[in-house]
Amino acid sequence: MEDIIIIDSVTKKYGKLIALDNVSLRVKKGEIMALVGPNGAGKSTLIKTSLGLLKRDSGKVLLFGKDPFFDPNARRSVGVIFERPSLPVSMPILEFLTHVSKIYNKDSKIIREVIELVGLKGKENTPFSQLSAGQRQRAAIAHALISEPELIIADEPTSNLDPVERNKILDLFTKINKENQLTIIISSHVLHELLRVSNKIAILKSGKILKVGTPDDIVKNVSIARIRCKNPLKIKENLEKIGFSLNAEGDNLYVKTESNEKTSLLLNVLSQEIKNGEQIYGIELIEPGIEEILEG
């Protein structure tokens, strides 16, 4: 499969701060690649360096086979969506996209197609100032699609949205990937919401890529069990004695296990606790967060 982006041993510094530390990554055509890490991990710097908007201190970057820092034409097939889209607040969507289409020499057909694709049909004459946060983000996606790009890069596109809108925007990216065969890069500090939409995930921390793999590869060795019980502190103490790492929140215990064997041990111990008279109301496995992955 063709590599759309090749990042090889890239380092980027801001004075003494190392924002990217010898980073290597490849993004293949047709993938949804997730860049996941806490704030300050280097996600935005990696995106800007990949686009040639920042000059790297060392290493190699190729975007569609060209170095984007020295050849801006490499970015011609890229659509970019930012965390807070900067759109003309008083201008209706249709008018704005019409101006954009003229820049790219596109006819009116593409405007109708992208408006329908992003779910804004019926809102064509609504100014951006009257749109909800989720609708504004959809308008930003429509803007990015007008040029009919081969690659979409979305930097924290769901960070200012409520949970319902976050899921809708991520579902929209999945739809665009499947129907339009677009390669998509999405950055986020929330791991669990990207597990279901991405083909590959790169975990960043302190300017380094710690792990790269499929969603199953990333989470397969880390599970979180949520235990609802009457005496969480007593069970917590018993589990910690035999080496489990866990936190107590109200009547819930959150226990991290790093293997199937550790999960089986946990269930056996809890079974014995029940036999000993402890009241355990429920046990469920939940998806780990970025913190558990980084610690795992």
161, 187, 219 - which closes a domain:
219
Predicted confidence (pLDDT) at residue 295 exceeds the cutoff of 80 = no
pTM: 0.78
Q: What SS3 state is found at 191?
A: coil
Among the listed residues 151, 288, 277, 156, the one whose alpha carbon sits nearest the alpha carbon of residue 216? 288
Write the DSSP string, 31-88: -EEEEE--TTSSHHHHHHHHTTSS--SEEEEEETTB-TTT-GGGGTTEEEE-SS----
What average pLDDT score do residues 209-237 get? Answer: 82
170, 201, 219 - which closes a domain:
219
Shared domain for 265 and 181, answered yes or no, is no
Find the angle CA(43)-CA(48)-CA(53) to the nearest 5 degrees: 165
Q: What SS3 state is found at 18?
A: strand
Shared domain for 193 and 259, answered yes or no, is no
Shared domain for 127 and 251, answered yes or no, is no
Shared domain for 92 and 160, answered yes or no, is yes
Q: Which residue has the tokens 């101006």?
A: 99
Please, which pLDDT band fits residue 5 given cuts at 50, 70 and 90? very high
Shared domain for 215 and 234, answered yes or no, is no
What average pLDDT score do residues 118-138 get? Answer: 90
Look at the chain and report how many structural domains it folds into. Answer: 2
178, 203, 219 - which closes a domain:
219
Please, which pLDDT band fits residue 26 given cuts at 50, 70 and 90? very high
CATH of the domain at 206: 3.40.50.300
Find the angle CA(78)-CA(178)-CA(134) to the nearest 5 degrees: 70
Shared domain for 165 and 267, answered yes or no, is no
Shared domain for 190 and 275, answered yes or no, is no
Rounded distance between C-alpha atoms, residue 130 and residue 20, angstroms: 39
Rounded distance between C-alpha atoms, residue 196 and residue 203, angstroms: 16
Shared domain for 29 and 122, answered yes or no, is yes
- Tell me the residue range of the domain where 240 lies: 223-295
CB-CB contact of 123 with 93 (8 Å): yes
Shared domain for 70 and 197, answered yes or no, is yes
* Lowest-pLDDT choice from 80-94, 98-112, 128-142, 161-175: 80-94
* Lowest-pLDDT choice from 125-129, 175-179, 211-215, 289-293: 289-293
Query: Helix 133-145 and helix 93-103: axis angle, to 10°?
Result: 20
What average pLDDT score do residues 14-34 get? Answer: 95
CATH of the domain at 259: 3.30.70
Shared domain for 17 and 143, answered yes or no, is yes
Shared domain for 188 and 56, answered yes or no, is yes
> 46 versus 158: which is more confidently predicted?
46
- Please give the share of the chain, as a percent, with pLDDT higher than 70: 93
Average pLDDT, the chain: 88
What average pLDDT score do residues 233-240 get? Answer: 88
* Lowest-pLDDT choice from 227-231, 254-258, 283-287: 283-287
On the CB side of 223, how many CA atoms lie within 13 Å of its CA? 17
Shared domain for 193 and 62, answered yes or no, is yes
